[in-house]
């Protein structure tokens, strides 16, 4: 079974001394504009917002289209936490038969399936013959616009 076009490129978080980016502590209206005097300025660290366990967190870039229905598009950056237990319906980065892939977990009893979020890709049933490891759980996705 080949998972071509599903390769992931992994990155580790860097130690950066920073006060964070400027954060406007108000919702940004997607409807009518909000008066400018309602904005309060502070600082925010995306590391603090996106990473719960720094030692167990990695980033990976998506390659492929199998998870577009879950909002994971080609070239998106995933935040992956290896300390979160894998449970039914979580999106997981898995090592399957020598290749990494990202899929939604479907767990029923002792059976596990990797479910893509694109009807053009098949559901993968994990068997004893597979070399299979759940590597981590996707907690966030970072997109370019």
Residues with active-site annotation: 66, 103
Q: What is the length of the chain? A: 145
Tokens 């390769």, located at residue: 7
Residue 50 gets which letter from DSSP? Answer: H
Beta strands 77-81 and 132-142: pairing type?
antiparallel
d(CA 81, CA 135): 9
CB 103 within 8 A of CB 93: no
């Amino acid at each position: 079974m080949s998972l071509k076009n599903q390769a992931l490129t992994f990155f580790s978080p860097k130690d950066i001394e920073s006060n964070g980016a400027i954060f406007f502590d108000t919702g940004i209206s997607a409807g009518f504009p909000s008066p400018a005097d309602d904005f309060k300025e502070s600082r925010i660290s995306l590391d603090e917002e996106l990473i719960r366990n720094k030692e167990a967190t990695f980033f990976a870039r998506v390659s492929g289209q199998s998870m577009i229905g879950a909002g994971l598009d080609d070239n998106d950056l995933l935040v992956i936490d290896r300390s979160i237990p894998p449970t039914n319906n979580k999106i997981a980065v898995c090592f399957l038969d020598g290749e990494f892939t990202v899929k939604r977990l479907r767990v029923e009893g002792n059976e596990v399936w990797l479910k893509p979020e694109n009807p053009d890709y098949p559901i993968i049933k994990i068997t004893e013959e597979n070399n299979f490891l759940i590597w981590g759980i996707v907690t966030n996705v970072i997109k370019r616009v």
